[in-house]
């Protein structure tokens, strides 16, 4: 099965969401997730990007998703793979790993 390089999107903001006060910041979660996934899937290509919901890149899809996070008052960071939300507020590594396996990734 040919696998495509998955893009994991971490939507967040500098300010920690009100309900997530004792949790790491979106940026810290993004960095932790990147390191953890590189250990889980060594030598397998994937892309992980951080998107500031209040200043998203000039990509319509990312801008619309950012607007959704704000309007629906989701707990951020929100982790999405292929447009599907796989984690919110305090994302679970296990959930993200099993989602990646659906795309053909093999964990160590």
* 12-35 pLDDT per residue, tens: 998 766 666 777 889 999 999 999
For 86-102, how does the pLDDT look when each residue is reduced to its tens digit (9 = 90+)? 999 889 999 999 999 99
64 membership: H or E segment, kind and range: helix 60-71
φ and ψ at 24, to 5 degrees? Answer: -65, 160
* Strand ranges across the sheet with 46-52: 46-52, 6-12, 78-81, 84-88
% of the chain residues with pLDDT over 90: 76
Is the pLDDT at 47 greater than 70? The verdict is: yes
The predicted model scores a pTM of 0.90
- Indicate if the pLDDT at residue 3 is higher than 90: no
For the chain, domains (ranges, CATH) are 6-102 (3.40.30.30)
| pLDDT value, residue 2 | 45
């Amino acid at each position: 099965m040919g696998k495509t390089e998955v893009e994991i999107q971490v939507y967040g903001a500098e300010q920690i969401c009100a309900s997530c006060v004792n949790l790491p910041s979106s940026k810290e979660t993004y960095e932790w997730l990147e390191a953890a996934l590189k250990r889980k899937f060594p030598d397998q290509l994937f892309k992980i990007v951080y998107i500031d919901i209040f200043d998203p890149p000039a990509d319509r899809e990312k801008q619309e998703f950012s607007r959704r996070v704000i309007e629906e008052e989701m707990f951020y960071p929100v982790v999405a793979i292929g447009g599907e939300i796989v984690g919110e507020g305090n994302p679970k590594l296990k959930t993200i790993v099993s989602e990646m396996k659906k795309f053909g990734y093999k964990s160590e």
